[in-house]
Amino acid sequence: MGDTAGETKFYSNAEGYWKEVPPTVDGMLGGYGKISSIDINGSKAFLRKFLGEGEGKTSAGCALDCGAGIGRISKRLLLPLFKTVDLVDVTQEFLDKAKTYLGEDGKRVGNYFCSGLQDFVPESGRYDVIWIQWVIGHLTDNHLVEFLRRCQKALRPNGLIVIKDNVSYEGVVPDEVDSSVCRDLQIVRNLVGRAGLSVIYEEQQVNFPKEIYQVHSLALR
């Protein structure tokens, strides 16, 4: 996907797809709204391994929710754990919906950024955790590497980047419907390495329906 025309189409088709998706939990999860609690509980257990006081632990000051949609992850995972959360998503309608969906806790949202991640530059040194879930497939390899580099600069001391996403069994599997790709785990690890980051911990999400892709969480520093 090196050619500029192809790249532009890749991004504009994805934007078009998400504009048609209803701003609901079921919409955010492609009709799999029922897995939301399993997903959140798995993420919470994963994240808690790193949060706290002491050597190498990550503070719970400020988190960034990437590809936040209506704020499902912010509401159930990040706002209960962090003092402040910022949301970034390419679809303005989702961010507008988030303002009501997040309810009272929405008062602790610092910023709502409407941007594709390929263009988004997070503020330097702002975040303890940058959470990137079910969205890396919407970035080309080079844009993913560049975005991860920008994320690294946006971390506070002992900060953490988490990617949680579908992984294919082998290679790169394109999805024409939502204009995304699904990469295998080794490809994701290689891109992380290209960004100058290391995978410090990794695990597979359990108890998801058998018919969907495996989902893995990777903690990066």
- What are the pLDDT digits (tens) for 28-69? 999 999 999 999 999 999 999 999 999 999 999 999 999 999
Mark 87-122 as b/e (b = at least 16 C-beta within 10 Å): bbbbbeebbebbeebbeeebeebeebbeebbbebeb
- What are the pLDDT digits (tens) for 160-189? 999 999 999 999 999 999 999 999 999 999
Share of the chain above pLDDT 90, in %: 98
Domains defined along the chain, listed by start: 4-220 (3.40.50.150)
Residues in the annotated binding site: 67, 72, 89-91, 117-118, 133
Q: Please give the model's pTM, rounded to 2 decimal places.
A: 0.98
Q: How confident is the model at residue 2 (pLDDT cuts 50, 70, 90)?
A: low
- The mean per-residue pLDDT over the stretch 14-24 comes to 97
- What are the pLDDT digits (tens) for 105-121? 999 999 999 999 999 99
- What pLDDT score does 3 carry? 77
Residues in the annotated binding site for S-adenosyl-L-methionine: 67, 72, 89-91, 117-118, 133
- The mean per-residue pLDDT over the stretch 76-80 comes to 98
Closest Cα to residue 136, out of 192, 82, 87, 84?
A: 192
